[in-house]
Chain A
Amino acid sequence: MGARALRLGSRNRELVYLSVVGILTGLGFASVYIARQAEVSWGSLTYAVFFFVLYLAAHVVARSTVPDADPYLLPMAALLTAVGVTEIYRLGNADAFRQGLWIVVGVALFALALLGLRRDYRLLEQYKYLFGIGAIALLFLPRVPGLGTTVNGARLWVHVGSFRFQPGEFSKIFLIVFLAAYLREKRESLAQARLKDVGPLLVIWGACMLVLASSNDLGSGLLYFGIFLAMLYVATARMSFVLTGVALFAAGGVVAYEKIPHVHERVTIWLHPWTTHKVFCPSTGGLALRQDCESYQWVKSVYSIANGGFGGTGLGKGTFTTTDGHQLIPYVNSDFIYSALAQELGLIGAAALLLVFMLFVARGMKIALQADDGFSKLLAAGLTFGFALQTFIIVGGVLRIIPLTGITLPFVSYGGSSVVANFLLLAGLLLVSNRANSS
């Protein structure tokens, strides 16, 4: 028996890992409860139970639809959402409840995607132009008068009644599906760089970039561009495309820095977040130290990270409000969730979190390597690279590796559209993985 009994199937392993995640989630909420007994009740622990049950349901669907898929991805997504919700809960109960609901929606769509595409997801290939046009349409949605809303100087949101979402998050998935299908079909001719084949590609991509630049969503612009180049490289193996692309991007960046005030401001904040004398403050029109004006948010965020030190303050014990109860870091639970986590979990916790992201990327890329058709490979590689790059853009911005642009941290940040879109990404990877492993 021994060895044979221990060799668990993929889904059984997934169940074991999910149980571990369930215990961790319980511990997380328990420590928030202990640190903040005064305003948090034992009821908070039901979050952990609720989560476990939710992921159990996702696991059951995966068991019947993608039995041979990678067993690590779902537990890792569960862990990341759990860490996110615990921290969001600690920062404000109401948002955590809403985030919980979005995770339910995300898991439901994840289940639907698995059920709908379990036979052969490759039929998506036939609808590639639909996805391409869909990606652009989604990006344009916030620009439609009456629908769009401007938040944080970027017009990214769509309002329908009290329901608000960011179509850009879904547009990203659509674009990856389109690129995977299109590049699979045209990869040979693309490698010869024939204008006829490159044309539609440039049109779709150019339209995306235009929309992004005009809506001030620089983070997404960088993300889409990065995904585009990576997938183009995987499909054509032409390094010259990548280099040309990077050169074009650099040129575009310089022009944007010179011409677009929003870009100029971001770069200035990045280079000189602190000033010793007062400088012009665009939001008030007066003079102020830059750390009290343009770079206020980033500076407060980095103080939060620094305050964590090696071991962190402990979940629930970080400082996020002033002595009179005002929020110290604006948008702490979306764009700056990482600085909140870094303060409470410290370097140990933050590094562990990033290792989970790395593991997720490693598994995703492994799936791309194992897949045996071009579309699957491109799809898995595109989704995974997008996931990695998005993480880098937001956390790298928070850590001042690159200029800061507002974008969500996958699975962790507060934000319904982001959570739901990432569950679709997860479903895509599991579908590819299942097919690769069962054939």
Chain B
Amino acid sequence: MNQQISRIALVGLLLLAALIVATTYWQTWAPGSLKAKQDNAIQRVAQFRIDRGKIYASDGRTVLAQNVKRRAGGQTLFFRTYPTHGLASQVVGYSTQGRSRAGLERGQNAYLTAGNANVGTIIQKLTDNLKGATIRGNNLVLNIHVNAQKIAETALRGKCGAAVVLNPKTGQVYVMASSPGYDPNRIESPNGFASILHSPGACPGSSAALLNRATQGLYPPGSIFKTVTAAEALDSGVYNAESRFFDPGYCTEYGKRVSNAGNPEAPEQFGNVNFVQAYQHSINAIFCDIGMKLGAKRLIERAKNFGFYAHPPIELPSNEVSASGEYDFRKHALFDNAGLADPGRLAFGQDKLLVTPLQMALVAAAVANNGTIMAPHLVNKVTGPGGGTVVKVHPQAWKHAMKPESAATLNLMMQAVVTGGTGTSAQIPGVKVAGKTGTAETGENHVYDAWFIFFAPADDPKVAGAVVVEHSLNGFGGKVSAPIAKQLMQALLPRASNQ
């Protein structure tokens, strides 16, 4: 019988050995793909056992997100609470059980949960692990300026719109406001979430408070896009500041008249003007002609130099940042086939263009920073649980939009808009302000998306930005958005340059 016994012994041992092999598979090969599974509750729970890092505003004191400890099922869990009840709500985002995460809470989750690969963090985590202590995440210190952010949110209250202000030389984002906002503390409660989703109609159509209009909101830019057209006109050498034009009040494209702003039957006429004046008074007919001369291909290529058709490299999750450009409305997709674009209308920002406020702030920043766009940063630094700096974010160039000389000319043109053009309501005594208004048609009569892009001080720019207010009745960019921009510049510029 012994031979048979040896054989079944072998069978028994092989069966058990197979278990070791299978365990090895599930513990070394499979975990990567299993972690990504939607229903992997362990991964979700495990993250709540980490003492998630705090999120601070630029002053390093104002806490935008912190934790409350709670014990459940024999473990200490850390749940998020947002002491400011929604300051920069879409930027900070939320981290909850039921609705997962959004904003920086999602985009910077690795730092916040000590999952980043910096040596200091790895050592810290290892020691915490060995001590049996709670893993502590890293803190984020943002560039968000509390006071200016509050001013932006107050100014936009009751409206739909967004404001972005950043430092054109470093890319630090001081203000990123999207209205309506929400209180992230209410995300988890069923009634709270419903009320966020159906927040009372600040604007017709979608008032979606969860949407970060500053980075995801897609708007027709209207005349602020003339800045990109002008950059191409100057940079290509086809035009210069002194180029002369005649404005009959309309341009003729595809055999039809495209009129200037105002009553189409009796449009404004400016007659003989130079390029600076054409920009200063935002004359559609002239930009229409320029666009037809340059062609859609060159305009689209120039827009790409400004970062259109790309996701600005900001710390938010990639699906919370939209690319700007020509959109096929039916397919809901970007296209860059110049043959499908209408160069005349494209040149003054109508056609099928859709842009984000962040992208337009970067257009202003490009002019302010001699043609170079710095990568926008919401995060200033990452600090360890003990307070030491883990990562300091350094300024980094992202795009070269145009030659410095073209930027210098555009700088003067944008100043002219504020000193004596469509943007006079942005004037600040003692500060040279540069700007451009935009009033984009929404399809409804007398209802516009009102834009203003700006930077200041024009001779040594410290802030640049964009403000958009949706669905303003008779609201021209110069009247509605420029005053908000003025308030933001005043809040952010050093007192010395104010009065």
For residue A44, CB closer than 8 A to chain B, the reply is: no
Give the docked Cα–Cα distance between A138 and B27 (Å). 39
Contact partner of A401 (CB less than 8 A), chosen from B22, B37, B77, is B22
Interface of chain B residues 1 through 46 with chain A (CB within 8 A): 1-9, 11-13, 15-20, 22-28, 30-31, 34-35, 37, 39-46
Give the docked Cα–Cα distance between A388 and B16 (Å). 7
The answer to whether B23 touches A354 (Cβ under 8 A) is yes
Digitize B96-130: 1 where CB-to-A-CB distance is under 8 Å, 0 elsewhere.
Answer: 01000000000000000000000000000000010
Contact partner of A306 (CB less than 8 A), chosen from B20, B31, B72, B129, is B31
The answer to whether A303 touches B41 (Cβ under 8 A) is yes
Contact partner of B19 (CB less than 8 A), chosen from A230, A234, A310, A399, is A399
Give the docked Cα–Cα distance between A133 and B35 (Å). 50
| CB-defined contacts of A362 to chain B, threshold 8 Å | 9, 13
Digitize A192-214: 1 where CB-to-B-CB distance is under 8 Å, 0 elsewhere.
Answer: 00000000000000000000000
The answer to whether B8 touches A319 (Cβ under 8 A) is no
| CB-defined contacts of A350 to chain B, threshold 8 Å | 20, 23, 27
For residue A365, CB closer than 8 A to chain B, the reply is: yes
For residue A277, CB closer than 8 A to chain B, the reply is: no
Assuming the contacts A354-B16, A361-B9, A369-B6, asked whether A34 and B45 have C-beta atoms less than 8 A apart, the reply is no
| CB-defined contacts of A422 to chain B, threshold 8 Å | none
Give the docked Cα–Cα distance between A351 and B23 (Å). 8
Give the docked Cα–Cα distance between A15 and B2 (Å). 30
The answer to whether B73 touches A326 (Cβ under 8 A) is yes
| CB-defined contacts of A395 to chain B, threshold 8 Å | 19
For residue A392, CB closer than 8 A to chain B, the reply is: yes
Digitize A254-270: 1 where CB-to-B-CB distance is under 8 Å, 0 elsewhere.
Answer: 00000000000000000
For residue A105, CB closer than 8 A to chain B, the reply is: no
Digitize A401-428: 1 where CB-to-B-CB distance is under 8 Å, 0 elsewhere.
Answer: 1000000000000000000000000000
Closest beta carbon of chain A to B76's beta carbon, Å: 7
Contact partner of B30 (CB less than 8 A), chosen from A235, A237, A306, is A306
Q: In the complex, which residue of chain B has the Cβ closest to the Cβ of A339?
A: B26
Assuming the contacts A235-B1, A328-B42, A354-B16, asked whether A302 and B73 have C-beta atoms less than 8 A apart, the reply is no
The answer to whether A385 touches B37 (Cβ under 8 A) is no
The answer to whether B15 touches A396 (Cβ under 8 A) is yes
Closest beta carbon of chain B to A384's beta carbon, Å: 7
Assuming the contacts A347-B24, A365-B9, A385-B8, asked whether A319 and B46 have C-beta atoms less than 8 A apart, the reply is yes
The answer to whether B2 touches A319 (Cβ under 8 A) is no
| CB-defined contacts of B46 to chain A, threshold 8 Å | 307, 319
For residue A323, CB closer than 8 A to chain B, the reply is: yes
Q: In the complex, which residue of chain A has the Cβ closest to the Cβ of B131?
A: A34
Closest beta carbon of chain B to A318's beta carbon, Å: 8
Digitize B48-84: 1 where CB-to-A-CB distance is under 8 Å, 0 elsewhere.
Answer: 1100000000000000000000011111110100000
Contact partner of B8 (CB less than 8 A), chosen from A233, A302, A307, is A233
For residue A48, CB closer than 8 A to chain B, the reply is: no
Contact partner of B31 (CB less than 8 A), chosen from A307, A381, A385, is A307
Contact partner of A321 (CB less than 8 A), chosen from B11, B23, B75, is B75
Give the docked Cα–Cα distance between A253 and B64 (Å). 61
Q: In the complex, which residue of chain A has the Cβ closest to the Cβ of B129?
A: A314
The answer to whether B4 touches A237 (Cβ under 8 A) is yes
| CB-defined contacts of B39 to chain A, threshold 8 Å | 289, 291-292, 299
Q: In the complex, which residue of chain B has the Cβ closest to the Cβ of A230?
A: B8
Interface of chain A residues 23 through 50 with chain B (CB within 8 A): 34-36, 38-39
Assuming the contacts A307-B31, A396-B22, A399-B26, asked whether A391 and B5 have C-beta atoms less than 8 A apart, the reply is no
Contact partner of B72 (CB less than 8 A), chosen from A34, A233, A324, A342, is A324
The answer to whether A385 touches B12 (Cβ under 8 A) is yes
| CB-defined contacts of B23 to chain A, threshold 8 Å | 305, 342, 347, 350-351, 354, 399
For residue A377, CB closer than 8 A to chain B, the reply is: yes
Q: In the complex, which residue of chain A has the Cβ closest to the Cβ of B78?
A: A323
The answer to whether A369 touches B2 (Cβ under 8 A) is yes
Which of B5, B71, B72, B75 counts the most A-chain CB atoms under 10 A from its CB? B5
For residue B205, CB closer than 8 A to chain A, the reply is: no
The answer to whether A234 touches B5 (Cβ under 8 A) is yes
The answer to whether B42 touches A377 (Cβ under 8 A) is no
Q: In the complex, which residue of chain B has the Cβ closest to the Cβ of A238?
A: B4
For residue A75, CB closer than 8 A to chain B, the reply is: no
The answer to whether A309 touches B28 (Cβ under 8 A) is yes
Closest beta carbon of chain B to A315's beta carbon, Å: 11
Contact partner of B73 (CB less than 8 A), chosen from A300, A324, A385, is A324
The answer to whether A307 touches B41 (Cβ under 8 A) is no
Residues of A within 8 A of B (CB-CB), count = 66
Closest beta carbon of chain A to B220's beta carbon, Å: 38
Closest beta carbon of chain B to A91's beta carbon, Å: 9
Assuming the contacts A237-B4, A369-B2, asked whether A392 and B16 have C-beta atoms less than 8 A apart, the reply is yes
For residue A22, CB closer than 8 A to chain B, the reply is: no
Digitize B459-484: 1 where CB-to-A-CB distance is under 8 Å, 0 elsewhere.
Answer: 00000000000000000000000000
| CB-defined contacts of B9 to chain A, threshold 8 Å | 361-362, 365, 368, 381, 384
| CB-defined contacts of A328 to chain B, threshold 8 Å | 41-42, 45
Digitize B291-330: 1 where CB-to-A-CB distance is under 8 Å, 0 elsewhere.
Answer: 0000000000000000000000000000000000000000
Interface of chain A residues 268 through 310 with chain B (CB within 8 A): 274, 289, 291-292, 299-300, 302-310
Give the docked Cα–Cα distance between A234 and B9 (Å). 11
Q: In the complex, which residue of chain B has the Cβ closest to the Cβ of A233?
A: B4
| CB-defined contacts of B7 to chain A, threshold 8 Å | 233
Give the docked Cα–Cα distance between A44 and B79 (Å). 30
| CB-defined contacts of A392 to chain B, threshold 8 Å | 15-16, 18-19
| CB-defined contacts of A38 to chain B, threshold 8 Å | 71, 74, 76
Give the docked Cα–Cα distance between A350 and B22 (Å). 11
Closest beta carbon of chain A to B201's beta carbon, Å: 34
For residue A13, CB closer than 8 A to chain B, the reply is: no
Closest beta carbon of chain A to B105's beta carbon, Å: 16
Closest beta carbon of chain A to B15's beta carbon, Å: 4
Give the docked Cα–Cα distance between A401 and B117 (Å). 36
For residue B132, CB closer than 8 A to chain A, the reply is: yes
Give the docked Cα–Cα distance between A73 and B230 (Å). 88
Contact partner of A351 (CB less than 8 A), chosen from B11, B24, B34, B44, is B24
For residue A112, CB closer than 8 A to chain B, the reply is: no
Closest beta carbon of chain B to A241's beta carbon, Å: 11
Q: In the complex, which residue of chain B has the Cβ closest to the Cβ of A343?
A: B42
The answer to whether B27 touches A358 (Cβ under 8 A) is no
The answer to whether B13 touches A322 (Cβ under 8 A) is no
The 4 closest A-B pairs by CB, nearest first: A325-B73, A321-B73, A388-B12, A365-B9
Q: A310-B27, A361-B16, A399-B19 are in contact. List 14 more A-B contacts (CB 8 A).
A: A230-B8, A291-B39, A299-B37, A303-B37, A321-B73, A322-B73, A328-B42, A350-B23, A350-B27, A369-B6, A385-B11, A388-B15, A391-B16, A392-B18
Partner-A contacts on B (CB < 8 A) = 1-9, 11-13, 15-20, 22-28, 30-31, 34-35, 37, 39-46, 48-49, 71-77, 79, 97, 129, 132
Instruction: Return 22 A-B CB contacts under 8 Å, by A number.
Output: A38-B76, A234-B8, A237-B3, A302-B34, A303-B34, A306-B30, A306-B34, A319-B49, A322-B73, A343-B42, A351-B24, A354-B19, A354-B23, A361-B9, A361-B13, A381-B8, A385-B11, A389-B12, A391-B15, A391-B19, A392-B18, A399-B23
Partner-B contacts on A (CB < 8 A) = 34-36, 38-39, 230, 233-235, 237, 274, 289, 291-292, 299-300, 302-310, 314, 317, 319-326, 328, 342-343, 346-347, 350-351, 354-355, 357-358, 361-362, 365, 368-369, 374, 377-378, 381, 384-385, 388-389, 391-392, 395-396, 399-401
